[in-house]
Amino acid sequence: MLGAMMKRDFALYDSIQQNEWFFFFETLPALVHYVAGRPPEDADDILTCLLVWQRFPNMAARSAHSFLLFLRAIHVIHVKVPCFKTLTNYQANERMRYYLNRCIEESSKPLSIIEHDFATDMTGVRTNRFSSWYSLRCDKKIRKRDHIATHITTGVKSNIVTAVDVCVKKGMDNVIFRKHVRETAKNFSIDEWSGDGMYQCRENCTEVVEAGGLPFFKLKKGITKKPKGHPAWKDMIVRSEADKASYDKSYHKRSNVESDNHSKHSKLGDHVRSKLVTAMEQEEHLKWVNYNILVLNRASLEWGIKPHFD
């Protein structure tokens, strides 16, 4: 019975894998030109080079520069390739954040016709930095690797990512959650929104309801129904008590986010090579843009949704 439920369409799976690189190099120019094809004039070229570089997560900057020149020589890409130092400088430039956010937004838009349920989660990403605070605290010479926190919001049907925030500092979980709701509501109709206990708060419930959806959070023991100015909070708890099975079914849609994280880590790496704070954050952000392009490839073959950026 379980084997029948988990049966995979291998013909479709083979087509998706075989079409992956063709789709990437066909879609990338259109997406980047739509997002960055404005002054400054080199933003289009820089963003293309950075996205191609981060499609190969273990490639050093000098090797990436050589590979980009090779792709241009065989006419796979048609951009000016800057030196490796210029690429690393732009990756650490905070002005690139605007283009990365636009890329996430525009690459998710084509799937607005099928996505109505969303989930938010946070995952840790390894870095190449080691902090000394842990050794000082424990009075031991232990090198504990630093991590950065990546918050993503994804559609639970296609696994497209609608909003991304990558932070070195932690503690802004609920602020980021509400930001993701607002960004997603610009282009999507929201029915349900799920998240684990870290996002459980009254303000988040209100934000989801105001966007037109119903919140489904992991409810901790001992919580009170008191709305304290947020009736959406009380309504969520009442729904969970009235029909726990139905509530849990909607809440567990957030499990799709785990598959997103696993897929991205498998295809694009689970660590960042950069050392500077902004560069680390934007390196991870670039990988999520590439992840969305992979999802669009699947959508084009499984649902016949062809992305258009105009």
How confident is the model at residue 40, as a pLDDT?
62
2 inside domain:
no
How confident is the model at residue 172, as a pLDDT?
87
48 inside domain:
yes
pLDDT at 131 exceeding the cut of 90:
no
Lowest mean pLDDT among 80-94, 98-112, 129-143, 185-199: 129-143
7 inside domain:
no
How confident is the model at residue 137, as a pLDDT?
59
Residue 39: pLDDT band with limits 50, 70, 90: low
| Residue that wins the pLDDT comparison between 297 and 36 | 297
pLDDT at 171 exceeding the cut of 90:
no
Q: 87 and 67 in contact (C-beta within 8 Å)?
A: no
Residue 178: pLDDT band with limits 50, 70, 90: very high
Degrees to nearest 5, angle at CA 32 with 71 and 63: 35
Whether the full predicted model's pTM is greater than 0.85, yes or no, is yes
Encode the chain in three state secondary structure: CHHHHCCCCHHHHHHHHHHHHHHHHHHHHHHHHHHHCCCCCCHHHHHHHHHHHHCCCCCCHHHHHHHHHHHHHCCCCCCCCCCHHHHHHHHCCCCHHHHHHHHHHHHHHHHHHCCCEEEEEEEEEEEEEEECHHHHHHCCCCCEEEEEEEEEEEECCCCCEEEEEEECCCCCHHHHHHHHHHHHHCCCCCCEEEECHHHCCHHHHHHHHHCCCEEEECCCCCCCCCCCCCHHHHHHHHHHHHCHHHHHHHHHHHHHHHHHHHHHHHHHCCECCCCCHHHHHHHHHHHHHHHHHHHHHHHHHHCCCCCCCC
Residue 223: pLDDT band with limits 50, 70, 90: confident
pLDDT at 45 exceeding the cut of 90:
yes
308 inside domain:
no
The string over 126-151, giving b where at least 16 C-beta atoms fall within 10 Å of a residue's C-beta and e elsewhere, is ebebeeeeeeeeeeeeeeeebbbbbb
**Cβ-based neighbour number of residue 278 at 10 Å:** 16
Lowest mean pLDDT among 35-44, 82-91, 104-113: 35-44
How confident is the model at residue 1, as a pLDDT?
35
Q: How far is CA 161 from CA 35, 53, 89, 259, 303, in A?
A: 17, 20, 26, 12, 17
Rounded to the nearest integer, the mean pLDDT of the chain is: 89
How confident is the model at residue 285, as a pLDDT?
96
Q: Which residues contact 65 (CB under 8 A, 6 or more apart)?
A: 81, 83, 84, 87
Degrees to nearest 5, angle at CA 126 with 123 and 144: 115
| Residue that wins the pLDDT comparison between 13 and 40 | 13
Task: Domain count for the chain, please give it.
Answer: 1
**Segment 57-81 mean pLDDT:** 94
pLDDT at 199 exceeding the cut of 50:
yes
pLDDT at 4 exceeding the cut of 50:
no
Phi, psi dihedral angles at 106 (to 5 degrees): -70, -35
Range of the domain at 198: 14-302
**Segment 146-158 mean pLDDT:** 91
163 inside domain:
yes
226 inside domain:
yes
**Segment 233-249 mean pLDDT:** 93
**Segment 164-187 mean pLDDT:** 92
> Which residue in this structure is represented by tokens 């690797």?
145
How confident is the model at residue 87, as a pLDDT?
93
309 inside domain:
no
Residue 3: pLDDT band with limits 50, 70, 90: very low
What percentage of the chain exceeds 70 in pLDDT? 92
Phi, psi dihedral angles at 146 (to 5 degrees): -75, 155
**Segment 188-195 mean pLDDT:** 96
Nearest Cα residue to 187 out of 236, 116, 126: 116
Residue 143: pLDDT band with limits 50, 70, 90: low
pLDDT at 191 exceeding the cut of 90:
yes
Alpha carbon 262 to its chain centroid, in Å, reads 12
The predicted-structure confidence for 97-123, as pLDDT tens digits, reads as follows: 999 999 999 999 999 999 999 999 998
224 inside domain:
yes
